[in-house]
């Protein structure tokens, strides 16, 4: 029961973080506008989004960790765990698997007439140009928090009562939808499936975390 409560608290923390922008972004924008009256609207908007993203993800991650620290069995949903060095290696392998999966997904999108880069990725990269510290949110805080939510909480909870494919499908769709990039939902779904496989393969959440961190870091610094 305590394990389920912790999972619920982590999920609620993530949802509150996602929704808080509707309340906090406008006042934060007004504050920065007063501090920098000569800045353009676009620069102010990116500046606001960058700092909001940094602090909201950091705070949500800290709160989630505090909840998890009270539950010693939170990561025990898999009885068998791969040795840590091997799990870390699988995280690196998983990063390559995600890249390969996204290449295949990109080819499928092309066949379906879907072109262009991800609007979500383009938006995030624009933010990092104005607020470089936001890279920490994209490449570190975000991946860790998302793996806790989508893999440990959603996939991990569903996997206990369903099959891998059902749990992976549902958690991957939620993962895709929460990025608000519906045109490229296939790419996010593929990523979610690979992360679920890595978690199941090793029994350690650190494995998909490593793959996710490497993926976001790679995308950020190459694009």
Q: Which are the contacts of 143, defined by CB distance < 8 A and separation ≥ 6?
A: 209, 212, 213, 215, 216
Catalytic annotation present for 179: yes
The catalytically annotated residue of 47, 109, 147, 179 is: 179
- Catalytic position from the list 146, 147, 184, 212: 146
Is the separation of the CB atoms in 147 and 205 below 8 Å? yes
Active site residue 41: no
Give the Cα separation of 22 and 102 in Å (integer): 31
Is residue 213 a contact partner of residue 159, using CB atoms and an 8 Å limit? no
Please state, in angstroms and rounded to a whole number, the distance separating the CA atoms of residues 53 and 220. Answer: 15
Which residues, other chains included, contact 118 with Cβ-Cβ below 8 Å and sequence gap of 6+?
Answer: 181, 183, 184, 187
Please name which of 218, 190, 195 lies closest in space to residue 107, comparing C-alpha atoms.
Answer: 190
Q: Which residues are catalytic?
A: 146, 179
């Amino acid at each position: 029961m305590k394990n389920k409560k912790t999972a619920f608290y982590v999920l609620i923390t993530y949802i509150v973080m996602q929704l808080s922008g509707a309340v906090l972004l406008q006042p934060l924008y007004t504050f920065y506008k007063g501090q920098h009256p000569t800045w353009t609207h676009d620069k102010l908007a990116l500046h606001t989004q960058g700092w909001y993203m940094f602090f909201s993800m950091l705070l949500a991650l800290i709160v989630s960790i505090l909840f998890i620290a009270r539950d010693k069995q939170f990561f025990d949903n898999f009885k068998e765990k791969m040795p840590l060095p091997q799990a870390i290696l699988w995280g690196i392998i998983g990063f390559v698997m995600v890249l390969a999966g996204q290449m295949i997904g990109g080819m499928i999108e092309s066949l379906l007439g879907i072109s262009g880069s991800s609007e979500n990725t383009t938006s995030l990269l624009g933010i990092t140009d104005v607020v470089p510290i936001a890279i920490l949110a994209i490449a570190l805080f975000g991946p860790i928090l998302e793996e806790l939510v989508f893999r440990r909480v959603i996939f991990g909870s569903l996997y206990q009562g369903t099959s891998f494919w059902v749990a992976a499908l549902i958690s991957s769709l939620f993962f895709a939808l929460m990025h608000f990039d519906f045109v490229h939902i296939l790419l996010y779904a593929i990523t979610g499936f690979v992360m679920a496989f890595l978690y199941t393969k090793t029994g350690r959440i650190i494995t998909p975390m490593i793959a996710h961190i490497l993926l976001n870091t790679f995308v950020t610094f190459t694009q």
